[in-house]
Amino acid sequence: MKLQRGQVTVVTGAASGIGLALAVRFASAGLSIVLADAEVERLASAEATVRSQGVEALSVQTDVSKAESMQALAKAAVARFGAVDIVCNNAGVSTLGDPWFGPLSAWQWVMDVNFWGVVHGCRAFLPILMEGGGGHIINTASIAGLVPGTGPAYDASKHAVVAISEDLHHMMQMVGLPVGVSVVCPGWVHTSIVDADRNWPPELGERPQPNAGTSTIAGHYRKAVDNGLAPAAVADAVIDAVEYGRFWVFPQQEFLDLAVRRFNMIAERRDPTPADQIPGLPPRSQLDAEVRAALGLSTSS
């Protein structure tokens, strides 16, 4: 898909991180930008940043977990610009809440945003793209969508995003609709994802607290994220995928290699093993020992 001035891109989770980088990168190509996010103050700042690129911008406070909120975003985008050409379903969250013994609300929040947010985005904007003659949908997943190990709820949500993106890609090809689909699978990226629960929705009750084990791992995750890839590099990879019509977007080769090793293990029918080294983290044996110690478990059990 050739990017041209006058086209319109919608980005969810646009107030920071990868979302803001996508908005700025598409703006640098001359596209008008619709920025959607739950955080009003950050959203206003992001809109100002995008406008500094010399393009038109519209910010809309949006809760991607709600179908009606995404439908309202789509209506606002069309009302302002008349059409939409590119949709980035990028909003995502993570939690350190205990997945097995803590409240179920931790699962609900992550799935509502990471999974249902993408479903709502595709359903809200596909008719608009088709009516306009085509376009492109970019869904932000994660390498966790191919290689589990970040956390059960997050891994499950990102696996789902990869699956529905591939299904949508096949559907568009099967029926001959000119809508491209890409799925983004980055590893560690320097964003505020570790602090995502700052946006914990009050209607889900008290924010789940981490246990001793997840608290121990959190420090390593934060360090990996702080040392992660710049969001702008992810945005560059996305632009390349849109322009050349690529489905898979892997900004970091080392994480693609990790996924390849996992699928080789599957092909060999080998049981899952934690032995593989995840780039950016200490050896799994060290992580396991630290978690066991934090939980008061024997290191030999």
Active site residues per annotation: 154
CA 231, CA 254: separation in Å to the nearest integer? 17
Distance (Å) of CA 214 to CA 30, 210, 294: 43, 6, 9
CA angle at 214 for the pair 209 and 96, rounded to the nearest 5°: 50
Identify the DSSP state of 142: -
Question: Of 131, 155, 282, which Cα lies nearest the Cα of 219?
Answer: 282
CA angle 181, 24, 29 (to 5 degrees): 70
Alpha-helical regions (H) of the chain: 17-28, 40-51, 67-81, 105-110, 117-131, 152-175, 212-226, 231-244, 253-267, 284-294
Three-state SS at 32: strand
Distance (Å) of CA 28 to CA 18, 49, 240? 15, 11, 14
> Which of 136, 92, 127 has its CA nearest to residue 246?
136
Q: How far apart (Å, rounded) are the C-alpha atoms in residues 261 and 7?
A: 39
Structure tokens belonging to residue 157 = 């949500």
Which of 209, 259, 251, 206 lies closest to 231, judged by CA? 251
Q: Are 208 and 277 in contact (CB under 8 A)?
A: no
> What span, in angstroms and rounded, lies between the C-alpha atoms of 13 and 91?
4
